[in-house]
Structure 1
Amino acid sequence: MLKWIQGGISAVTGIAEPEYGSDYIHSVADRVKGKQPYKETSREDLYWLNPDYTNVETATFYFTNIKTGVLGFAQIIHSNIIGLHTQAQFTFRVYNAKEGKEALNLWTSTKLENFRIDGPNFYADNLSVELDQDSKTYHFKSDVNEKSKVDLTFTKLTPGCKVGDDPSTYYGDNIEEPWGRMRHVFWPRNKVTGKIDIKVPVKQQASEEHKDIKGEQTSQDTRQKDRESAEEKGTSEENEEEEEEEELEDLHIKFTDESPALSMFVMAFQGMKPHHAAKAWNFLYFHSEDHTAVLMEFITPKSYANTKVSVGIITSKNEVLSVSVNNDFRHLNSSVDSVGWNVPKNLSVKFNGFKSTAPDEKIAAITNSPTKQEKYDNDTQLHATVEGKLDQLVERIDVMNEIPNFVKSIVSGVAGTKPYIYQYADEFTLQFQDASKEKGLAWVEVTFISEGETVTDESYNEA
């Protein structure tokens, strides 16, 4: 009972948690050990949970045009702080991986007004995200920010997927009454059609020839300076931006039925404070002409025994080939950067899964065999490796400079919390067991949250 009380208090106050140990985390991977992890999503799996306690819930629609290099995401963030303050945000990123660091790199983040949830759908003033009745297509339309208007349709090419019947990891001594929860469901490979209308500064255009895909990022340092200046003047950041009256030029990106983009969609729920749930995150999605690979994992703080929870997905053009929970996301050639995190220069991600058609009994036999690693069972197992260099740092995000002041006031005093997100867009390769490599585009996010215990390369390679 004492630990439950401590957990409940820490979820509200942000104080450091005691060391509970592995008995106080109930991983989704543990519940599917020796079983087929892959389950297809239902319509109900895509409903917003929207509980009345501290949580952050997101719906993120990624898009990738392999030919042009244009990729990015449109995202809804819905958060509830201590059950007292609920808010919603539209965030948008677009980048051109083929053109390099000087090419298109636009980021916007816009507060939503009069938002509401209706099952799997989300609405706000000048924004709607709707799932059709057949649960095959999402329509995402937003006019809330003049710099990033989207009207995109995402249509499933493969089934949606999750790990097990309940794709959640629970924290606490009682899984029926947990004090924290993490949950993810996916549409791993989709077709994207529609249009994106953006505005970028005129001076940042490289040439008229590339007018439809050129642009340049507004740096985080500039955003922070603008914010500080606005606070000194007693004005909002939004008003400060309006007063600048920067000269902008319209750019247009279109995805058609004849030339669509590819997409990965993920719905995520984090029902506890970020620095209590995880000390680090790794995320990658990769699209080639023939396959998609997705890897999302987090590592808990020492409070929960540095437990790694990893979900990997491999698809063909129209089928989910494997959902794996035994993956190896390796940070390579790491070095400490100017803010103090040991940041990788290369990645190697190994998916060690079972084919989505493999029955439980075969999976159990391999999982429980003392010689299971000595021979590869081609009928049951599926191994793949995605790897590449992290050459293009899209942005290093100082999370504490981006979150609202209300949230910042709660977590800013927590010792050892220094959250940074490193976003990359690069050409990677995918290789199946003994097959040739195929090229594609990858979006990577490496997130460091807590330095309460040093995060090293080995932290990401725990069994």
Structure 2
Amino acid sequence: MWKLVQSGLSVVAGTAEPEYGPESIHPVCSDLSKDEPLYSPLSPKDLEYQVPSHTCVETQTFYFNDDLYSGFAQVIHSNLVGLHTTAQFTFKIFKKSKPDAYVWTSTKLENFTVAGANFYADNLSVEVDDALRVYRIKSSVNPASIVDLTFELIGESVKFGKDGTTYYGTDLANPWGSMRHIFWPRCKVSGTLQLGGNEQFEQDITLNSGLGMYVMALQGMKPHHAAAAWNFLNYQSENYSVVVMEFTTPKSYNTTTVSVGIVTDKNGKTLLGSVDITTKHLKTYTDPVSGWNVPGEAEFTLRGKDLEVQVSGALTNLSERVDVMNELPQFVKNIASGVAGTKPYIFQFSNELDFKLVKDGKVEHSETGYGYTETTFISDVIKPSN
């Protein structure tokens, strides 16, 4: 997520937006009638890049983990006001037992092109099969992270609402911004990784029985205007997968929290799709570097008609504190932090978390599984005065 935030901040125009009021934000699913489903499987068109002509960032992110390792591979496709497009491939991997020792690469892509749901560049391809159930990611753009991974969808894909999108603007027919997410919440992951020159762990890694999650995102406006904070959960175990994607808008858009969450069983069947989600930061402490109030524990609760799922636990293992502004030119930093009031940091955690499934008020299943979580702070979350 951090590159998506960073890419937009590099084109900050300056002043913060005015307060548009609650009519300026249209959360995903808010326009559904009683007869329309809250969520549905993806169509072939849903998997395609949207490629809008205005300023935006689109990403394909593939999260993976097995008994030893966790990480992600990501393509970032950025468009600056329709005049200039760039693309980047980022990759991160670490041992679950020591998440703060990681291999990280970020490489600019050359001669890139979008072809429906596929993405190509020199020495890189991200392709889905004809059945739209298997993605293969092949990259040799950086000798420190040569990637050949296959993600096979287990069970069902998911989008919320009509198109997975939250819209910004006082006229829903002509929105001036958007935020879109679509998901493969549970995947089988296999493949090889060559990590030449790293001193953290093995240079050649084979994944045979990994689990994964795929999310495609589109942020169709500047990130500090779209969101003041984010929470993200990717929980994977032998029996269940849980994904939560949540953001809270700045005061300009009524400090609105938008959440979507998915729970699947081991076969990828969707047990719960929810927009009624509570994320709690517990045992918070002031981070000495960023100054943000960071959670020492987290609790995600997803609610349905007769089902409730909770994933919670201590965030003991911090993989990385990402200073999003770190790579930006100094003059952009001054504009973004001084004028727009932004101070973006992303905290990436890797921990064992507790899972609990409650049906009709009774605990039906509880277990412990692996949770990768991110907490992102961009600007202060200020509640509206009304």
State the TM-score, normalizing by the size of structure 1.
0.76
Question: In structure 2, what residue type is equivalent to 1:315?
Answer: T
Cα offsets for 1:109-159 (capped at 9, x unmatched)? 111011100000000000000011110100100000111111011111021
Compared CA separation, residues 412 and 127, structure 1 to 2 (3 A)? farther
Mapped pair 1:388 → 2:313:
yes
Bigger fraction of residues in strand? 2
Mapped pair 1:329 → 2:258:
no
Partner of 1:254: 206
Q: Give the CA deviation at 1:435.
A: 2.7
Partner of 2:302: 351
Mapped pair 1:447 → 2:372:
no
Partner of 1:240: none
Which of 102, 107, 130 is the matching residue for 1:105? 102
Report sequence identity in percent.
Answer: 50
Cα offsets for 1:380-413 (capped at 9, x unmatched)? x221100011011100001011357897687465
Counterpart contact for 2:99–2:350, Cα < 8 Å? no
Counterpart contact for 1:29–1:309, Cα < 8 Å? no
Q: What SS does the corresponding residue of 1:44 show, helix, strand or coil? A: coil
Q: Which runs of 5+ in 1 are unaligned?
A: 1-10, 205-213, 215-249, 355-380
**In structure 1, distance between residues paired with 2:118 and 2:12:** 29
Partner of 1:304: 253
Aligned pairs for 1:84-123 within 5 A: 84-97=83-96, 99-101=97-99, 104-123=101-120
Question: In structure 2, what residue type is equivalent to 1:18?
Answer: P
Q: What SS does the corresponding residue of 1:417 show, helix, strand or coil? A: coil
Q: Which runs of 5+ in 2 are unaligned?
A: 1-10
Question: In structure 2, what residue type is equivalent to 1:24?
Answer: S
Counterpart contact for 1:390–1:424, Cα < 8 Å? yes
Counterpart contact for 2:147–2:192, Cα < 8 Å? yes
Q: Give the CA deviation at 1:321.
A: 1.3
**In structure 2, distance between residues paired with 1:47 and 1:107:** 27
Partner of 2:57: 56
Q: What SS does the corresponding residue of 1:135 show, helix, strand or coil? A: coil
Aligned pairs for 1:348-387 within 5 A: 348-354=299-305, 381-387=306-312
Q: Give the CA deviation at 1:82.
A: 2.3
Counterpart contact for 1:14–1:273, Cα < 8 Å? no
Counterpart contact for 2:60–2:215, Cα < 8 Å? yes
Partner of 1:29: 29
Q: How many residues align?
A: 367
**In structure 2, distance between residues paired with 1:194 and 1:274:** 33
Question: In structure 1, what residue type is equivalent to 2:367?
Answer: E
Compared CA separation, residues 179 and 410, structure 1 to 2 (3 A)? farther
Partner of 2:139: 142
Question: In structure 2, what residue type is equivalent to 1:324?
Answer: S
More displaced, 403-412 or 390-399?
A: 403-412
Partner of 1:220: none
Partner of 1:237: none
Question: In structure 1, what residue type is equivalent to 2:98?
Answer: G
Partner of 2:364: 435
**In structure 2, distance between residues paired with 1:301 and 1:349:** 22
Compared CA separation, residues 407 and 323, structure 1 to 2 (3 A)? farther
Compared CA separation, residues 405 and 85, structure 1 to 2 (3 A)? farther
Question: In structure 1, what residue type is equivalent to 2:205?
Answer: I
Compared CA separation, residues 333 and 144, structure 1 to 2 (3 A)? same
Counterpart contact for 2:250–2:382, Cα < 8 Å? no
Q: Give the CA deviation at 1:253.
A: 1.3
**In structure 1, distance between residues paired with 2:99 and 2:234:** 20
Q: What SS does the corresponding residue of 1:48 show, helix, strand or coil? A: coil
Counterpart contact for 2:14–2:340, Cα < 8 Å? no
Which of 394, 397, 401 is the matching residue for 2:322? 397
**In structure 1, distance between residues paired with 2:12 and 2:198:** 42
Q: What SS does the corresponding residue of 1:13 show, helix, strand or coil? A: coil
Mapped pair 1:192 → 2:142:
no
Mapped pair 1:423 → 2:374:
no
**In structure 2, distance between residues paired with 1:340 and 1:12:** 22
Question: In structure 2, what residue type is equivalent to 1:287?
Answer: Q
**In structure 2, distance between residues paired with 1:295 and 1:125:** 33
**In structure 1, distance between residues paired with 2:331 and 2:236:** 38
**In structure 2, distance between residues paired with 1:87 and 1:407:** 18
**In structure 2, distance between residues paired with 1:200 and 1:414:** 42
Counterpart contact for 1:12–1:82, Cα < 8 Å? no
**In structure 2, distance between residues paired with 1:144 and 1:405:** 28
Q: Give the CA deviation at 1:28.
A: 0.7
**In structure 2, distance between residues paired with 1:399 and 1:106:** 18
**In structure 2, distance between residues paired with 1:405 and 1:49:** 32
Q: What SS does the corresponding residue of 2:131 show, helix, strand or coil? A: coil
Mapped pair 1:47 → 2:68:
no
Q: Give the CA deviation at 1:437.
A: 1.8
Larger Rg: 1
Which of 292, 305, 314 is the matching residue for 1:341? 292
**In structure 2, distance between residues paired with 1:429 and 1:389:** 9
What RMSD, in angstroms, separates the aligned Cα atoms of the two structures?
A: 2.1
Counterpart contact for 1:400–1:412, Cα < 8 Å? no
Compared CA separation, residues 164 and 454, structure 1 to 2 (3 A)? closer
State the TM-score, normalizing by the size of structure 2.
0.90
Q: What SS does the corresponding residue of 1:109 show, helix, strand or coil? A: strand
Question: In structure 2, what residue type is equivalent to 1:288?
Answer: S
Aligned pairs for 1:164-243 within 5 A: 164-202=161-199, 204=200, 214=201
Question: In structure 1, what residue type is equivalent to 2:134?
Answer: T
Compared CA separation, residues 290 and 33, structure 1 to 2 (3 A)? farther
